[in-house]
Structure 1
Amino acid sequence: MDITADTPLDELATTRDGLRRAWLARKPDFAQRRADLLRLRKAFRERIGSMDEAIRADFGHRSEHENLLSEAMIVLAELDHAIKHLRRWTKPRRAAVGWRFWPASARIVPEPVGVVGILSPWNYPVNLALVPLVSAIAAGNHVYLKPSEHTPRTSRWLRELVSEVFPADRVAVALGGPEVGAAFAALPFDHLLFTGSTAVGRKVMAAAAPNLTPVTLELGGKAPAVVCPDFPLDRAAARIATGKWFNAGQTCIGVDYVLVDEARVSAFVEAVQSELRARYPDFEATRDYTRIINDGQYARLRGYVDDARARGVVPVEPVTATLDDAARERLARERLFPPTLLVEPPADSEVMRNEIFGPILPVISYRGLADAIARIRSMDRPLALYPFSNDAREVNRIVEAALAGGVTVNDTLLHFGAHDLPFGGIGPSGIGAIHGRTGFDTFSKLLPVFRQRRFAGSDLLKPPYRGFVDRMVRLLVR
């Protein structure tokens, strides 16, 4: 098989069926799962350099350090976490049955579900493919992976990695565009995970519905940061800048907009500008800033800025403000979209109606915390929420009122890397969760097993309901 070629549509069902037959013939036991994870870790660690090259080629350029942090570090940490805790995760868990069922006992047995399908995106093409694969393998499943067509070199790298680590009937990779993705989502998987946009997530869920395939959807939305009056602006600006411009904003949990108390909006904008100038002193030559993935995404982002400008908003571009037209055209050809702030864009502007997924940061004032919370609650529930305050009461007020998929307090992005925290959205930002033990459970059937003793009170609970039996029944409902 040519591992660089797209997968023919008529091979998808055949491959899925082969994966399931092999799984039914020999379900991976603890020793097999652990060996698979150790082998994957070794192979992945050896190929970090080629991974970096593939991702940088797909993006036109992406910061090597961002690749190391967001792809290599996260994958290795997830592997280490799973390897360390695998034996405990796979053991049956005791469950109480209550006095009414005494002397019976119960336990919950994690069982693999079968073949897990994974549809992974382009923005973190290795991390978001391999992290769920680790969970699925740890849970004892076989896996069929379909990475994004927008990062073709990285997708081929993933196929090469997988083909060297796993037998073809344990883990397989499908390559191809939207037609392959649509047919893949319609396969009768035992569980299907999709990471991507909310719009495509709806289509994936619809494709899975005829088979009643359980789905986990990791989507997105407009993740807000809320800077409370007590929090230092310089610190907030630095941490929000990381949460916004890491990977040029192409992050599902990236800061989508920031709410700042109205007395400090101008000071916050200046603090962010200072932070960006320090990070990118020579923007045209920087190796630390990632390109936009393709021309279509670049044009979409440019459209958001043009729409805001047409509505009277003056874009603030601190690291490119002095560039001439020729330099700007050169940056555009390279899809190097500069960090851009839009102060007080209207609520009906394109940048506020859509997930940005790029290096544009709207800055919006609020009069009081109730005003900020109302703004957040007027939109769909986001995948992430970032309150900035040293007052625990204020933080709790925001978190409780503005329910989100996950929260990092006084920083950004970091909850994604904490492997004991479940990662997932709510409503339009996602269904279900992964990472660590949660990911293991997602790709398992947590099988309830109730074990009755040789002699049990339930033997007496049968008609005629008279005398002692009557008294027993009435005792049970006290």
Structure 2
Amino acid sequence: MTELRSLFDAQHRASRETADLSVAERRDRVRRVQRLLDQHGEAISAAVEADFGVRSAALTEVADLLVLRSLLKQLLHRVEAWSRPVRVRTPLQLKPARAFVQRQPLGVVGVISPWNYPLQLSLGPAATALAAGNRVMLKPSELTPRTSALLAELIRQAFAPEEFTVVQGDADVAARFASLPFDHLFFTGSTAVGRKVAQAAAANLTPTTLELGGKSPCIVDASADLEKAALRIAHGKLLNAGQTCIAPDYVLLPRGREDAFAAAWQRAVARLFPRFDGNPDYASILGEGHLARLRALLQEAKDSGARIEQAAAAGPPGSRQLAPALVIGPDAGLRLLREEIFGPILPVLPCDDGDEAIRYINARPRPLALYWFGTDTAARDRVLARTVSGGVTVNDTLMHIVHDNLPFGGVGESGWGSYHGEVGFLRFTQQKAVLVQSRWSAGAMIYPPYGQRFRRMMKLLRLL
């Protein structure tokens, strides 16, 4: 704890001694992150694959680095514009004063990142905080030890500890990390752990951004092309073997189309992954504990009598590549429908109409993502108007997270606060209100003593 506190104190002192940074300094720090990826991308991808067991460099490029590289380019391009003071209109009763919002760094930002996308979800928020002029402490996941250790070493080589540093360790270290009095704490992970992080931060009145998970639904409208919908749902579900916070968690389908969807799903899965065991583009489940949990979910569904279609038999002993499974019409009480799945298992729930699908979603915690498929714009707009979620992609999955200018974040149990683009930059920025009074102040008209002049001024102000 002493070393952890010393690292924090060094960053805290530096942030108070130099409250703001020039645009050139901010760009320099973002470029150092960019060079780190450019120069060591292959080694980083190899570390990710070693941590997962099976996860190709191509998958890491698509799942982690594509979004991250785009974010870094945007930060470099837009940081000057986003850092400028913003003039605001001054109301008549305060003129000729003028006012603006000064954008300044918060100070020291803590980032606790997860294991499933160990580059995008660690360096993305960290680089955004650096672009906003902050000092950053990063606590990556202990479940990807090789990737975390390599990031720690590369960041140590590229940054002074008072600029950007990495803290490694287990859940106890993460708990102590969350209890530091950061100026902002950014967490990505499960809802259960997010609650603990929020409680630890609250003791210091530390503002937080919580990017959590939840059960993200897919609504397949009666107007949808099942072949296209099944392919895009399969891609979103099976990327990283379903270990994605915004992966489709279940499908709401018009009753009577279950067989057609199942057939389209099997064709889509076969197109994306002609084989599973040993396929480097189909990621392993990260650990044995998580794999056992997923198998238990499937077994419970089987025992309940649910119809299950699995694309392939289990792999050889020791394999953690779990073949995709479709579970059609599962009972409402199953854990499969109560817990975030975070794996390649997809429940399919038949509905009588779109209103039933909306009621099902609204009876549960608000999801991080929602996906809608179809061509009926009136039906689409009813869903958009009557449901609340962190984000939506229409006629595809996952793609809203790739759009640089869309905010990404949850709502309710799926999290709070958003990042990406200017929204993310402002998340790590203090927007300081500044009013510059003129030589003549209208405020003097309402100074005491309160007499006739005051009453005339108040009457005039009521008319404005």
TM-score category, normalised to shorter length: over 0.9
Matched, 1:139 2:124: no
Counterpart of 1:19?
11
User: Displacement, 1:278?
Assistant: 2.0
Counterpart of 2:121?
128
Counterpart of 1:294?
287
Please state whether the residue corresponding to 1:110 is helix, strand or coil.
Answer: strand
Question: For 1:153-203, what per-residue CA distance to the aligned partner results, in whole angstroms no more than 9, with x for missing partners?
Answer: 010121122112211221110001011000000011110000000000000
Matched, 1:106 2:91: no
Question: For 1:391-434, what per-residue CA distance to the aligned partner results, in whole angstroms no more than 9, with x for missing partners?
Answer: 22221211221100011111110111111111110010001111
How do 1:234-253 and structure 2 match up within 5 A?
Answer: 234-253=227-246
| 2:335 equivalent among 343, 346, 350 | 350
Q: Is the 8 A contact 1:55 1:153 kept in 2?
A: yes
Q: Is the 8 A contact 1:78 1:131 kept in 2?
A: yes
Question: For 1:439-466, what per-residue CA distance to the aligned partner results, in whole angstroms no more than 9, with x for missing partners?
Answer: 1111111111111111122111123444
Matched, 1:341 2:320: no
Matched, 1:281 2:266: no
Counterpart of 1:367?
352
How do 1:59-208 and structure 2 match up within 5 A?
Answer: 59-208=52-201
CA 1:170 to 1:213, structure 2 compared with 1: closer, same or farther past 3 Å?
same
Counterpart of 1:379?
364
* C-alpha distance in 1 between matches for 2:150 and 2:424: 24
Counterpart of 1:392?
377
User: Displacement, 1:467?
Assistant: 3.5
Please state whether the residue corresponding to 2:375 is helix, strand or coil.
Answer: coil
* C-alpha distance in 2 between matches for 1:397 and 1:354: 27
Question: For 1:329-383, what per-residue CA distance to the aligned partner results, in whole angstroms no more than 9, with x for missing partners?
Answer: 51x5221111000001111101000000100000111111110000111110000
* C-alpha distance in 2 between matches for 1:64 and 1:343: 33
Question: For 1:74-130, what per-residue CA distance to the aligned partner results, in whole angstroms no more than 9, with x for missing partners?
Answer: 111110000000100000011122222222211111110111000000000011000
Counterpart of 1:410?
395
Please state whether the residue corresponding to 2:307 is helix, strand or coil.
Answer: coil
Aligned length: 462
Amino acid aligned to 1:425: G
User: Displacement, 1:468?
Assistant: 4.0
- The TM-score with structure 1 as length reference comes to 0.94
| 2:50 equivalent among 49, 54, 57 | 57
* C-alpha distance in 2 between matches for 1:469 and 1:129: 57
* C-alpha distance in 1 between matches for 2:273 and 2:447: 79
Question: For 1:272-322, what per-residue CA distance to the aligned partner results, in whole angstroms no more than 9, with x for missing partners?
Answer: 01111222223234222000000111011111101111111132112x1xx
* C-alpha distance in 1 between matches for 2:21 and 2:395: 42
CA 1:294 to 1:285, structure 2 compared with 1: closer, same or farther past 3 Å?
closer
* C-alpha distance in 1 between matches for 2:12 and 2:213: 31
Amino acid aligned to 1:170: E
* C-alpha distance in 1 between matches for 2:89 and 2:301: 58
Please state whether the residue corresponding to 2:31 is helix, strand or coil.
Answer: helix
How do 1:253-332 and structure 2 match up within 5 A?
Answer: 253-318=246-311, 320=312, 323=313, 328=314, 330=316
| 1:473 equivalent among 440, 458, 462 | 458
* C-alpha distance in 1 between matches for 2:11 and 2:276: 48
Question: For 1:194-243, what per-residue CA distance to the aligned partner results, in whole angstroms no more than 9, with x for missing partners?
Answer: 00000000000111111111111000100001011111000100110111
> Over aligned residues, Cα RMSD in angstroms?
1.2
User: Displacement, 1:29?
Assistant: 2.0
Please state whether the residue corresponding to 2:406 is helix, strand or coil.
Answer: coil
Q: Is the 8 A contact 1:44 1:161 kept in 2?
A: no
| 2:419 equivalent among 410, 434, 441 | 434
Amino acid aligned to 1:469: F
Please state whether the residue corresponding to 1:315 is helix, strand or coil.
Answer: strand
Amino acid aligned to 1:120: S
Higher alpha-carbon deviation: 370-379 or 387-396: 387-396
- The TM-score with structure 2 as length reference comes to 0.97
Q: Is the 8 A contact 1:37 1:134 kept in 2?
A: yes
Higher alpha-carbon deviation: 13-22 or 216-225: 13-22
Q: Is the 8 A contact 1:52 1:67 kept in 2?
A: yes
Identity %: 42
Q: Is the 8 A contact 1:81 1:436 kept in 2?
A: yes
* C-alpha distance in 1 between matches for 2:149 and 2:190: 22
